[in-house]
Structure 1
């Protein structure tokens, strides 16, 4: 199977349905051989964007290019993309090999060659020797891999994945998302992946494009979005975060000294200026100390034991904080008075 990775470009794309505008002036680029995830809550426009790329919808204005070619008004069958659907869309009466070979045979490839390529496709996704099984004889994860193989054997410039793991249970989702990422890195195909699951996006992506209300809220690598959120929305959507008010006391080079409820802490400056601001504080970045220490005071209002950690809510004068504490050997009961401290990582000034 050859690599045929192409780039994707949206230039000032707008999509309206009657008086409702689903996508506002969208511009983005996906580099060849990368996996880019469109992430966002329901109704943000991510699926509409994917459907326009697939040719299932056409933009109201703007241009879409694949591999440098303008495909804005081309039908789906002329775009050199393949799509893996949420439902997998396998033919139940065909075995795995026939499902994978179907698109090849439909495009005119001789049956023998089509089946050879289909066997290779199944081997690539770890299903060698399972071509004779019907979809009903496969697990959910195996069905998903058949759908990926069926798309890959067509050697598209771009592979589109629309919520591909939503039908799997949590443990299987973790395993299959790892398999998708390893396969993409090994074969170096271009992929555009749609999900509303933040953990999934962090695990599989080279770049994440977070969408909100038909626009790009922020884009960057998983680490950039997690460690340097551009807004309270991003801070809370990419992993949970406590968004708390702070006072930037001093900025020196790349570091800023901030005060939270009287507790001073040094964080990356990110262009901040002295004055009122907001901090994104990850639940795992908060420490709970005995009430008499120098950190600012709080009171445990809720505690939930989850095996390898305990989730707490703590009431403070600045509001309720959500805390993840790995110290399961010393649980704190609701009503316990504590002092809130901060670790060195997992805290960021929210860009203004």
Structure 2
């Protein structure tokens, strides 16, 4: 099997309506060749509809879709140079893994011998060499998912589409398979569009994440950018938990902003923030707690939960309830303890300024 070809994906002012309901609003985006881009968002945000339009399973109500520079807006699914890996794997239970991978090749007119040779190469590619004669029921969930990926890759598409590919796996297997998918994509350099509602999954596999809300793009960028510099309360809370606190930006200087929460002051990157009322997104692991009374920003621990590698606290403060994750398990604090609250240098972002 040759290395899969790579193609760009472009959506130009795409709109999708179902009757009077608009599922996608004027969507424009570009996916560069050889990148893995994830469409992320809560249920009903439009990510699956976007993927289905790219696959040719739905057609836009307006706008254009291009793959590798070719307008495919109204082409049927079988005339687009894409392959799709489904959430349910969609393997034929009565066929061996090898026959499942070869099926699409044979259906496209390739002779059986060549199809089976390419299918063998595909199984080798995903680490399943020697398991080709097993039925799907004789494979683990992760192995079945890799068969589905091999079946898609042997067709050598310009773009590989993955629709919630890990949702049927348990947590430990999801971590393993998402790593395998990412390594495979980087090794072969194919273009991939990945749909998930799982933030950790998106952060782990993506070159770029497109977060969708109500049929539109809420924010897009590299995983670290979205996590560390959310543009809104929605993004801050959706891309991993965040405490959102009201604050006052009292000064900006040399790219830094001085903020005040009650009598507590802190400096952090301003990112163009102006002085005045704002909101501060604080990641749970960016908060420090020290037993003390009368601090500029203080609170009282209302609950403490030991989770092995860390402790989770809820802290009542004048600014609201704080959720805190602390690695100092050997110094666990008890409920009702009064604490001084501080912030680390990372994990803070001004939003909605």
- 1:317 maps onto 2:318 in alignment: yes
Aligned positions of 1:212-223 closer than 5 A: 212-223=213-224
Aligned positions of 1:96-245 closer than 5 A: 96-245=97-246
> Which residue matches 2:88?
87
Deviation (angstroms), 1:294: 3.7
| Aligned partners of 2:293 and 2:338 also within 8 Å | no
> Root-mean-square deviation (CA), in Å?
0.9
- In 2, distance between residues paired with 1:216 and 1:92? 38
Deviation (angstroms), 1:215: 0.4
Deviation (angstroms), 1:183: 0.3
| Aligned partners of 2:300 and 2:336 also within 8 Å | yes
| Aligned partners of 2:27 and 2:217 also within 8 Å | yes
> Which residue matches 1:9?
10
- In 1, distance between residues paired with 2:70 and 2:352? 36
Deviation (angstroms), 1:47: 0.3
Deviation (angstroms), 1:292: 3.1
> Which residue matches 1:42?
43
- In 1, distance between residues paired with 2:274 and 2:179? 41
- In 1, distance between residues paired with 2:7 and 2:152? 15
Unmatched 5+ residue regions in structure 1? none
Given the two structures, how large is their TM-score scaled by the length of structure 2? 0.98
> Which residue matches 2:269?
268
- In 2, distance between residues paired with 1:289 and 1:330? 10
- In 2, distance between residues paired with 1:337 and 1:269? 31
Runs of 4+ that moved beyond 4 A: none
| Aligned partners of 2:233 and 2:352 also within 8 Å | no
- In 2, distance between residues paired with 1:309 and 1:145? 34
> Which residue matches 1:347?
348
Unmatched 5+ residue regions in structure 2? none
- Of 103-112 and 246-255, more deviation after overlay is shown by 246-255
- In 1, distance between residues paired with 2:266 and 2:115? 62
Deviation (angstroms), 1:293: 6.7
- Of 151-160 and 243-252, more deviation after overlay is shown by 243-252
- In 1, distance between residues paired with 2:29 and 2:130? 41
CA shift digits 1:74-102 (9 cap, x unpaired): 00000110000000000000001000000
Partner SS for 1:323? strand
CA shift digits 1:294-344 (9 cap, x unpaired): 441101111111110011110101110100000111212221111111111
Partner SS for 1:329? helix
CA shift digits 1:177-202 (9 cap, x unpaired): 00000000000000000000000000
- Of 37-46 and 337-346, more deviation after overlay is shown by 337-346
| Aligned partners of 1:270 and 1:351 also within 8 Å | no
Aligned positions of 1:61-80 closer than 5 A: 61-80=62-81
- In 1, distance between residues paired with 2:314 and 2:18? 43
> Which residue matches 1:58?
59
| Aligned partners of 1:209 and 1:220 also within 8 Å | yes
Given the two structures, how large is their TM-score scaled by the length of structure 1? 0.99
| Aligned partners of 2:281 and 2:349 also within 8 Å | yes
Deviation (angstroms), 1:351: 4.9
| Aligned partners of 2:4 and 2:153 also within 8 Å | no
| Aligned partners of 1:241 and 1:282 also within 8 Å | yes
- In 1, distance between residues paired with 2:262 and 2:312? 22
